[in-house]
Amino acid sequence: MKRYLLLVAAMLVCFLLLFIAVEALGIPLLIDPTPWMRHGGVLAAALGVSLLVADVLLPVPSSLVMVAHGALFGVVIGTSLSLLGSVGAALFGFAIGRRGGKLIERLVSPEERARANKMLASWGALAVVVTRPVPLLAETVAIMTGASPLGWKRMALASFVGSLPPALLYALTGAAYANFQNVVLMFAATLLVAGSFWLIGRLLESLVNRQKRQEITIDSRH
């Protein structure tokens, strides 16, 4: 599994370097898109959803976008828009993984691929659910899962389940500060919610990894 793990690590590094590059270049739309969404309407909704989908490849501040959805459109519509964008991002990443399957075959031995496919078939959907609120990991898992036997329906369902809680809570946060007047307070609340999801995601991820290691140990004994 070493090559698979190295491939995952390489993807994480690439996403991190992209984030650093965007921060260094100071691209306004990718740092704080709320000024472009402030007036609401169809254009703001389309921009928000598009940014969330693009988060697979670009370092979009998805938490700010979801909070803006709640502030501009209310809890129900805001949650729906964020959910649409987040699930769309997961499926986009999954499609990239499907297209990149042949590349992974060249980089990974058949034995490693078979073992990884077995693990992803058993735990891929849960991994998607757990990592959806976690930056960097969400995109990496979505792409890697696309190269596994996991089907589109299970991927869509898993991404929906994993995306619903953050979409709802960010919409509630945005609706609570709908006038955008107290930017500091809104930003602090966003960080609090994002930090909570990151911590929960890390805890669940550790549980999943522990179970995976146990399965690997059992397989090696047989």
Which pLDDT tens digit goes with each residue over 30-53?
888 888 888 889 999 999 999 999
Tell me how far apart the alpha carbons of residues 210 and 205 are, in angstroms, rounded to a whole number.
9
Number of structural domains found in the chain: 1
**Higher-confidence residue: 211 or 174?**
174
Q: Over 90: is that where the pLDDT of 13 sits?
A: no
Per-residue pLDDT at 101: 66
- According to the per-residue pLDDT averaged within each range, which of 13-17, 106-110, 205-209 is highest? 13-17
Q: Does residue 56 register a pLDDT over 70?
A: yes
What is the residue range of 98's domain? 2-221
pTM above 0.75, yes or no: no
